[in-house]
Each structure stands twice: as C-alpha cells, then as structure tokens.
Structure 1
Amino acid sequence: MTTNAPRPEVLRYTAFSSDPAGGNPAGVVLDATALDDSDMLAIAADLGYSESAFLTAPPEGLVPRQEGRAYSIRYFSPKAEVPFCGHATVATAVALAERTGPGKLVFATRAGTVPVEVTEEGGTLRATLTSVEPHLEEIVHSDLAEALAALGWPAADLDPAFPPRVAFAGARHLVLGAATRARLADLAYDFARLEALMHRLDLTTVQLVWRESATVFHVRDPFPVGGVVEDPATGAAAAAFGAYARELGLVPEDAALTLRQGEDLGRPGELTVTLRAGDPRVRVSGTGARIG
C-alpha cells in the first residue's frame, strides 16, 4: 500500500453467533485492492483475531460473475496466511449480505472455490458455506505421541471411538476425540511444542472433540501456528470433522450435526454441519453479527 493511499475500512464481525460477544471474531476488508501481503498481515496482526479476510476482484472465469457476487478472498492470521478459514468466510458473507442483501456468493480461495448462500430469518442472517472436496489421512504413531505429549493428554484420555486422523476440507486439521467433557475442558498445552509439530505436519488447528449425543459435539481448536492459543469457533475444522465423522461411519451419510464451541472461552458459538449422501462436500452454517 502506498503511503498516500487511504487505509481501507476494517470491519469487525463475529461468526457462528448472533451475539457480538459470542462466536469467533474476524476482521473483514471488503476492498483490499490496494493492499499487498505485508499490509494484510499487518492488519491481521493489529486486530489480533485468529483470522481476517480480504476481498478483491474474482479471477476470470469464476461464476457467477453477475451482480458482483463473486470475489477472491484471502485469509491472514496474526502470523501467516492460511489457505481457508470458515469463520472469516461466514463473517464476510454476513457483512456483504448486510450491504447487498441475502443470496448466493462465490469465493475463490487458495484451497479452491467455495460457494456461500446467505438467508435471512426473523431479521437474522445465516451463511452456509460449501467446502471443497475433503479427504482423510492416517497419522503415524510417533507424530500422534508428540501431539499428545504437547497437549499433556495421556493416551488413555482419548475416546477409542474416534481414531486419530488428519482431516482436510480446505485446511488440514488433526482430529482427536476426548473421552470425557472434563478432558476437553482442561486445555493447557505446550504452545511452542505443538506449534513446531503443526508446522511440520502442515496443520492449521488441532480439532479436539467430545461427543454429547448422536448429533451434538463439543469442540476446541488450539491454533498456535496462527499466533493464538485457541480459535473460538472454527468453520474449516467443522467441515473437516464432518467429512471425518462420515467417512469413519460415526454419523449417517445424511446428517445434520451441531458443534458447540467457545463455551470454555466464554464466547459460545454454534456451528451446523450438514452432510448429504452422494455429495462428498460438507456444508457449514452459522449466524454472524457486527462487533462495535
């Protein structure tokens, strides 16, 4: 950004809650045309949120181009760019819908094309993103042991019904199942040790999960590679978890799952994960609200 260029407006929205004090806050820049990478990283670091989103014109060929509803979008944590961020996508979609009305949007991300639909019910906007095609990977025993050591979790604290896997639906997340709600609530980990492992494995977060019922899960996401201890509500990890749960037969191929996140941080949020038989992609939806 040149020294004479005006600083773009930086909006603040929360995602996966209609209460500005809940969910996961994100910075949103609706016109980042004048910004370079260092500018975007500086804005994200200044805000201190887990991620901020920056919009520019869409690439040629992205559809639909009509009505100005398609964009290129980039996501920056306070430390680095990430390929995809669900909560910042939801926050951005809500911000756009407040200005141009509900409807369909398309975002070109580093991970691929992500359609989003925003609807309005009773004055509340809800955004639903559709992930890129997901996949799972095994994790080798030594890497799992290192993750557990960094978390301070004995292996006996894992739920055997949730085999550890790396799940991808736009970004890579290590999924670990907690045997009890108390285990999930007690999160005090070695920041530097987990960060080093996550960089080596190219992980965005670690998705820690406890199952309350057939369709309700409580989740937490350490995010040291982004420069924050924990992400309060994580749409990319929710999409990855939906793919994980379906592929391992933990839920039906057609399912609507509720993920509750942020309660242990005092920022409760709710993510809805929808799975459709015959469609490998995962849909993640939630509300949003402007902060301040």
Structure 2
Amino acid sequence: MTESRSGHAGLALSPDTSSALRYAAFPTESGGGNPAGVVLDAAAMSAAEMLRIAAEIGYSETAFLEAIGSRDYRVRYFSPQAEVDFCGHATVAAAVALADAELGAGELVLHSNVGEIRVSVASVGERYRATLTTVSPKTAELPAGPLAELLAALDWEAEDLDPDLPIGLAFGGLWHPILWAVTRERLAELEYDFAALTTLMQREGWGTVSLLTRERADLIHSRNAFPIGGVVEDPATGAAAAALGGFLRTNGLLPDGGKFRVLQGEDMGQPCLLDVDASGHGGIRVSGTATRIVADAE
C-alpha cells in the first residue's frame, strides 16, 4: 500500500473503477438509498478520466475529491454523461466515506463548482450522519413557454398541477423546476419523453425536474426526473431538496421551525429520506446517512 496525497494509507489511486468506493446515501431505516461513487484521491485524474470512471460505475453521480488542506477538499461530480456542478447525495456519500476512512466526525469544507459547501459529520450509533449547507438559494419564475414544453414532455395537463401550490424555479446549487402534482397517485405515474425533456433541460440549464406532492407541511413526496444524467429519475436528490427548501422559504410555505422531510425513491423501490432545515437565512441544510455498498466496492 502507498500513502496518498490526502494522507489516507492505502488510498493512492490509478484511474480505474477500483479506486472508487460505493455508498448508498439517504437510506431509510428499512433500507433503500441512492448509490453514489466516491473517489477519495482524484488529484492525478483528468476530467476525461473522471467522466469515464463515472460512466463505468453507472450511478447517477460519482464524487471525485482532492485534498487541499487537513479537512478541505476540492470536489467534482460526474454523472455517466457529463460533469454536474453540485450533487447532494454524492456530497453526503463522500463525507461519510471520508469519516469511514479515518477522518471520523467533524467539519469538512468542500470546494465545488458552485462554491463552498460546508459539511458537518456526526457519529450516530454505528453510523455517520452528514449535514451539508448549500450556497445561498435562489428562486425565479418559470416562464410560460418552458412550462408548456415541460408539461408536454411529461405528458401532464394543467389539471395535473395542484392549484393550491406555486410552481417556479429554485436553486440550491443547481436550478430545478418545481411542479406539484394534484394527487400522490398522479405523482406515481411517471412516463415522459426522455429525448424531449433532455433537450429542454440542457437548453434551460436545469439540474433535475422536481415533481412533488405535500402530504403535510413537514412531509413532502418527491420524484426527480434526470434524463440529462442518463437516467430516468434520481432516487434521492439533495440539491433538489435544498432548492425546494429555499423555494418554500421564499413563498412562506415552511412549517413552524423551518424543517421538513422529503421522501423520494418510493416509486422506484429505493426509498430515501432527506431531512431539510430551511430556517433562518442563507444556505439550506440537508441531512442524511450513507452506508457502504461493500459487495460492489470489494
């Protein structure tokens, strides 16, 4: 074994998938979670090598880290098809992987394409739990033209939208359209024009499309279409959950205390639980655990 630049014995890398760990982020108590790849020392890797590894792993995102301080890292995220500026579930997976690899609990600073992401890692029983804080959120109107194209690509009608909740665009590291389905049953029906939605999202610069229903003020069901990443949907999307927190804050829709939970991946058989804290001002906090996928990692 050799010593890597990050100081972790045994983690020096060659640019192949053997350098990658696999973690499931945001699992529920009964399982599930969204798989992410994590490369703990990508200092010697080119962007092309990162993209190739992400494609070979095949998960919606893989995080590539380069140590620039004792608990400071440059992070880049790649889907199987392109670099992604920010990814919440891969951030949580990377933070827990660093904790597992000797760092333990404590504070981390990840320097992403969208800015500084602070992550607090706590020990909870036999697990680590990570809380990321995003860059400052933003919201915007969803113009009528792109909205009409979006509904057409989704095969949704205006009647499929909840008339009591606002639509729009939200940012917590990536931009996401926010659409509320009129019922949970409508949300369960997700069949869309993959090519048309991909083209629209690329043109508009959207990360995922957030499709939602609100069971109550502090519990939201979510599906996130992600064709630009090469997959139909993402089982858990920390960036979208953060963007939603900023959107609810701006629209005065947060529950008392500003905290809520997002259930995602249920209709995929990969249930995921994301805890969101949008209280106060500034960045949104998204929390969850991650577990090592040992069978794939060895």
The CA deviation string for residues 233-292 of structure 1, in whole angstroms up to 9 with x for no partner, is: 000000000000111111147311000001100000100000222x22100000110012
Backbone CA RMSD of aligned residues: 1.5
The 8 Å contact of residues 13 and 20 in structure 1, kept in 2 or not, is answered as: no
The 8 Å contact of residues 246 and 253 in structure 1, kept in 2 or not, is answered as: no
Amino acid at match of 2:38: V
2:46 matched residue in structure 1: 36
**What SS does the aligned partner of 1:133 have?**
coil
Q: Does 1:153 align with 2:148?
A: no
**What SS does the aligned partner of 1:93 have?**
helix
The CA deviation string for residues 125-177 of structure 1, in whole angstroms up to 9 with x for no partner, is: 11000010010011111110110010011111101222221110111111101
**What SS does the aligned partner of 2:213 have?**
strand
The 8 Å contact of residues 15 and 49 in structure 2, kept in 1 or not, is answered as: no
Which of structure 1's runs of 4+ aligned residues deviate more than 6 A? Answer: none
1:291 matched residue in structure 2: 293
Identical columns (%): 53
Q: 1:18 to 1:219 in 2, by over 3 A?
A: closer
Amino acid at match of 1:71: Y
Deviation at residue 44 of structure 1 after TM alignment: 0.6
Q: Does 1:108 align with 2:115?
A: no
Find 1:6's aligned residue among 11, 14, 18: 14
Q: 1:18 to 1:248 in 2, by over 3 A?
A: closer
Q: Does 1:78 align with 2:94?
A: no
Find 2:64's aligned residue among 54, 65, 75: 54
The 8 Å contact of residues 246 and 252 in structure 1, kept in 2 or not, is answered as: no
Give 1:166-245 correspondences, 5 Å limit: 166-245=169-248
2:125 matched residue in structure 1: 122
Deviation at residue 18 of structure 1 after TM alignment: 6.1
Count of paired positions: 279
Unaligned runs of 5+ in 1: 59-64
**What SS does the aligned partner of 1:259 have?**
strand
Unaligned runs of 5+ in 2: 1-12
The 8 Å contact of residues 28 and 271 in structure 2, kept in 1 or not, is answered as: no
**What SS does the aligned partner of 1:132 have?**
coil
**What SS does the aligned partner of 2:282 have?**
strand
Amino acid at match of 2:56: D
The 8 Å contact of residues 39 and 65 in structure 2, kept in 1 or not, is answered as: yes
1:62 matched residue in structure 2: none
**What SS does the aligned partner of 2:93 have?**
helix
Deviation at residue 98 of structure 1 after TM alignment: 1.0
Q: Does 1:271 align with 2:274?
A: yes
The CA deviation string for residues 177-213 of structure 1, in whole angstroms up to 9 with x for no partner, is: 1110001100000000011110110001001110001
- TM normalised by structure 2 equals 0.91
Deviation at residue 20 of structure 1 after TM alignment: 9.9
**What SS does the aligned partner of 2:253 have?**
coil
The 8 Å contact of residues 217 and 255 in structure 2, kept in 1 or not, is answered as: no
- TM normalised by structure 1 equals 0.92
